[in-house]
Structure 1
Amino acid sequence: MSGEGVSGEGPLAGVTVVSVEQAVSAPLCTRALGDLGARVIKVEAPGGDFTRYYDDVVHGLSAHFVWVNRGKESLVLDLKTAHGSHVLHRLLDRADVFVSNLAPGAAAKLGIAAGQLAARHPELITMEIDGYGPGGPLSHKRAYDLLVQAEAGACAITGLPGEPAKPGPPMADVCTGLYAALSITALLAERGRSGGTKGPAAVSVSMFDTMTELMGYALTYTRHTGVDQQPAGMGSPAVAPYGAYATADGHTVVLGTTNDREWQRYARDLLGRPDLADDPDLATTADRVTARERLDAEIAHWCAARTLHDIQSAADTAGIGNARLNTPSEVLTHPQHTARDRWRAIDTPGGPTLAPLPPPVFEGRTAPMGDVPALGRHTEAILRELGLAEADLTENLIKERADSDT
């Protein structure tokens, strides 16, 4: 299928993705595919993806929706009606990929579960994103980012001892969406290697499995020690010194080491403390983790007497990793993004906004940065493309409702 130029150039140009999606995980998956050049058709119920209405800060549209839905076409269909289902399957006849992340059991009720689609669309790649994966005691449960992060143990190692916290970004949603996009591109690559030979290909990714993967270090440590590591705020349970410290001019600097050689430079060249470098009680990473409170006190005292600029300059000279603790408003004007021209203007139904370029930078290619669609913005054009008319769709819906009333 050919679109109206929503996607643009990219390695996935010519690939059509159809999605029945909501919230973050599946929309981020399909937006990532769109960022790589695929055409993405987002099928929305008459009321629209509920994340459209989380807030209204972007010209009447929610920040969540704007973030993960740029560059897509919005097609409104009532999939609970026979005609809405018919239109979707007409669309899938021409599509390469189908992505969904509905509530447990909802896809099967609509006739769009992976097995059902394989029988009807034998060349379609299907991706199902769910909460906990099939076949377990939690498979029936709804899954939101916070719930999955809590269930997977991520909240227990974030925050401070006795004060668990959810990581700020929605890690379960985001990483599940990226794993889903990676899996789809792998299947597309497999088809490319086979000379274009097609056949049904189904893949699924669960948010709980994704978060368990992200918990890999913590789970491996606990399996072999029997110890549940405690959250360390801005620090790390694995290495020390590693943390955030107040500066003399009211900022917060983050300093860290990851190995014994760095610690020697940290102590001698940055802090000017050869006594710490030579202390046998601080010789190894494990020693320094044990002495974390002592080291943090020493470093906090040193930083409190110096400006952020002086600390970062000295750390750069000594080859010690460092950063400034920024707020979101400071990131919007971050000089690194400005110098690299990383922001682009896009349109939303209510007006323009800025969005960061996708992380992958392809030499010699311009990243496609499509606009955020209004609900149903592309319905008429897509129906026309399928040889249908919006009037026919409306007539059929009215007839179906009348038949159901009788």
Structure 2
Amino acid sequence: MTATPLQPYAGLLVVSLEQAVAAPLASCHFARGGARVIKIERETGDFARQYDSAVKGTASYFAWANHGKESLCLDIKDTRDAALLHDILDRADVFIQNLAPGAVARAGFGSEALRRRNPRLIICDISGYGEDGAYRDMKAYDFLVQCESGLVAVNGAPGHPGRIGVSVCDIGAGMNAVIGIQKALYARSITGEGSAVKLSLFDTAADWMTVPLMHAVYAGKAPQPAGLHHPSIAPYGGFRTADGEVLAISVQNEREWASLCEGVFGRPELARDPRFCDAARRVANRAALDAIVAGFFAARSRAELESLLREAAIAYGAVNSVERFAQHPQLRRAPVTLEDGAEAHLVAPPVRHSFEPETPHLGRVPGLGEHSAAIRAEFARIGETA
């Protein structure tokens, strides 16, 4: 007999007036933990539903960030729909929203007003650039925040800065929202009072840029795009093998450098070469060093190199395509049910708990407005008995 898994968020009601990626990812975390999550959508739906149709007709981001929720269509500018949302929020534990700055306040759902009605409510506002300042009203799509924050400037290849290939600012903001809400829930367990949680995509990206920023401000030189290389470590990067693969290596200290020279290259004298005898000299002479590494790799197969690198305890990894990543032996997947009843497999949640199944079912992706009638009827009955 299989024990019922513990659901630490069971009993919590999370309401999310959400669109795109950041807020949906945050609320999805609570759905995975057993909370009841009501997703508020316009009649036209969260536009992320239309991003693509890659997952058996369902948008990939939408399937990832919205399973396990109920979908309620509302027009918060409509008096009756606004009243319904107030009734729901009066009983909610958490309210998440990522509309444009000021939009929810103008509709009567600002943080202070809501907490006067429900002092235990935790309100999480996710914005692009924050709720004040010159950039307050700027459109803040993930790519643009990557550009504004300097993330693009430290990525890509030399002379060719590049966007990070997934929506990292949206994803990171969603993660920060979860951290902020969990902290607020813990504070409420002590004080009995809810609180406001505010974060932005820009602040999320800025936090990640702390080290490059410190280099620019205090050392006078920001890291430049280096492709697969590292600005201050060598040898570090991807090198093509005889059978056309690319293996990346990372040598981070003198012990590893000596081991690479002797155990892999069979040339222990390289470790004492004046051009390469310490980290700074290896970086200064990177071109000559990389030529040696590249020549050695080009004459051997991936399998032969992996055996040598493993035996010498040198850190390495394959530069995989997404197709090869999809077959990776360490990749864990978990099933999700799409709105039409079909099953797909997403990447399994990265955090595992001993009280959860090893491979949890992620729940079902809701159809647009699928739960509208039931939720309206439920809260109408609550209103009648209040």
Q: Give your verdict on TM over 0.5.
A: yes
**Do structure 1's residue 215 and structure 2's residue 209 form an aligned pair?**
yes
**Do structure 1's residue 360 and structure 2's residue 351 form an aligned pair?**
yes
Aligned AA for 1:46? E
Gaps of 5+ in 2: none
Matched with 1:111 is 108
SS at match of 1:90: helix
Give the Å deviation of 1:51.
0.7
Matched with 2:70 is 73
Matches within 5 A, 1:310-321: 310-321=304-315
For residues 79 and 353 of structure 2, the distance between their equivalents in structure 1, rounded to whole angstroms, comes to 43
Matches within 5 A, 1:1-400: 9-192=6-189, 194=190, 197-337=191-331, 342-350=332-340, 351-366=342-357, 367=360, 369-388=362-381
SS at match of 1:128: strand
For residues 49 and 136 of structure 1, the distance between their equivalents in structure 2, rounded to whole angstroms, comes to 27
For residues 271 and 140 of structure 2, the distance between their equivalents in structure 1, rounded to whole angstroms, comes to 48
CA contact (8 A) 2:185 2:194 kept: no
CA contact (8 A) 1:104 1:142 kept: no
Aligned AA for 1:380? A
Q: After superposing the two structures, state which structure 1 stretch, 104-113 or 166-175, moved more.
A: 104-113
CA contact (8 A) 1:36 1:368 kept: no
Name the Cα RMSD after superposition: 1.9
SS at match of 1:139: coil
For residues 51 and 124 of structure 1, the distance between their equivalents in structure 2, rounded to whole angstroms, comes to 27
- Structure-2 change in CA distance of 1:238 and 1:360 (3 Å): same
Residues 246-287 of structure 1 show CA distances to partners (whole Å, capped at 9, x for unaligned) of 111121111112222222222222222212211233233232
Give the Å deviation of 1:368.
5.4
Residues 99-127 of structure 1 show CA distances to partners (whole Å, capped at 9, x for unaligned) of 11111221222222222222222210010
SS at match of 1:386: helix
- Structure-2 change in CA distance of 1:10 and 1:278 (3 Å): farther
CA contact (8 A) 1:35 1:358 kept: no
SS at match of 1:282: coil
CA contact (8 A) 1:243 1:255 kept: yes
Give the Å deviation of 1:205.
0.8
Give the Å deviation of 1:239.
1.6
Aligned AA for 1:15? L
Tell which has more relative contact order, 1 or 2 (C-alpha 8 A, sep 6+).
1
Residues 167-221 of structure 1 show CA distances to partners (whole Å, capped at 9, x for unaligned) of 11211111111011011111112223x1xx4223001111111101111111111
For residues 19 and 124 of structure 2, the distance between their equivalents in structure 1, rounded to whole angstroms, comes to 14
SS at match of 1:189: helix
For residues 184 and 326 of structure 1, the distance between their equivalents in structure 2, rounded to whole angstroms, comes to 36
Aligned AA for 1:222? A
For residues 142 and 126 of structure 1, the distance between their equivalents in structure 2, rounded to whole angstroms, comes to 22
Identity of aligned residues (%): 40
Runs of 4+ residues deviating >6 angstroms: none
Gaps of 5+ in 1: 1-7, 390-406
For residues 35 and 50 of structure 1, the distance between their equivalents in structure 2, rounded to whole angstroms, comes to 22
For residues 125 and 221 of structure 1, the distance between their equivalents in structure 2, rounded to whole angstroms, comes to 37
Give the Å deviation of 1:139.
1.2
CA contact (8 A) 1:159 1:233 kept: yes
For residues 289 and 70 of structure 1, the distance between their equivalents in structure 2, rounded to whole angstroms, comes to 47
For residues 292 and 170 of structure 1, the distance between their equivalents in structure 2, rounded to whole angstroms, comes to 32
Q: How many residues align?
A: 377
SS at match of 1:205: strand
For residues 232 and 102 of structure 2, the distance between their equivalents in structure 1, rounded to whole angstroms, comes to 41
SS at match of 1:95: coil
Residues 143-176 of structure 1 show CA distances to partners (whole Å, capped at 9, x for unaligned) of 0111001000010111122211101121111111
For residues 247 and 111 of structure 2, the distance between their equivalents in structure 1, rounded to whole angstroms, comes to 49
For residues 166 and 381 of structure 1, the distance between their equivalents in structure 2, rounded to whole angstroms, comes to 43
Matched with 1:400 is none
Aligned AA for 1:374? G
